[in-house]
Amino acid sequence: MSDELKQPAKKEDSIRVPKSAVFLVGGIILGLVLGFLVGRLNGANNLPTGAAVAQQGGGTGGVLAKVSADDDPFLGEKNAPVTIIEFSDFQCPFCRRHYSQTYSQLKSEYIATGKVKYVYRDFPLSFHEGAQPYAEAAECAAEQNKYWELHDKIYDEQNKQGQGTVPYPGQETVLQWAGEIGLDTGKLKLCIESGKYTKEVQKDFTEGASYGVTGTPSFFIGNDKKGYVQVEGAQPFSAFQSAIDAALG
């Protein structure tokens, strides 16, 4: 483990949503809640997903009664006793730090051993021009059963460019990367350009905001029985280990 991993994560170890975006998302969530209330008055029975969640506390360490994994890609056993739901941005340097320094250890010690189901949900920040197109490309790769291969490739290629936020290289470069890991780039391009997953990615963002996500990466760890603890930022493995073990216990 590197010296950097031994240090406690600082507040700046995640990228925050601009206040204007928070107000916008807040308006969307308020609209969903109001819509729900109106629906109830008219005899509707279903709450829109993510519109309201029982919550105690807030920020890091806050506990949510339930967090939806939606139908997003996951690693591990479907019915694993603990779920980690990551809300992330493919162009965020702190998300890349988590991928490089912590993710592989989570895979080997918890995901591969059947203890954790790991879900990736998108939270594309508006000031990252590549966040949305990267996310849509990965969703399209899932149609060829290569979501995680492209997920890893995107982060690996950015790592080659050094530290900080790496500029988005454009669709053609992403397609080239996809070809290198065995994707049918023709099918992938058609899927991307159709905009098939634009709303799906935006839905992840809206639901993440409704759970209290204000920056990336942000994680929810737990299960529906005990609730979910929120862990924010590129935290060291020990922070995940504590939350996972508590949920397992």
Q: Which domains does the chain have, with CATH numbers?
A: 54-248 (3.40.30.10)
pTM of the full predicted structure?
0.78
Tell me the sheet residues that pair with 15: 216
Alpha carbon 14 to chain centroid, angstroms: 13
pLDDT at 65: 87
pLDDT of 60 over the 70 cut: no
pLDDT at 61: 55
Under 8 Å between Cβ of 236 and 7: yes
Query: How far apart are the C-alpha atoms of 102 and 97, rounded to whole Å?
Result: 8
Least confident of 41-45, 76-80, 116-120, 159-163: 41-45
Q: Where are the alpha helices (DSSP H) in the chain?
A: 3-6, 19-41, 93-98, 104-106, 131-142, 147-159, 171-180, 185-194, 198-210, 237-248
Which of residues 31 and 68 earns the better pLDDT score?
A: 68
pLDDT of 89 over the 70 cut: yes
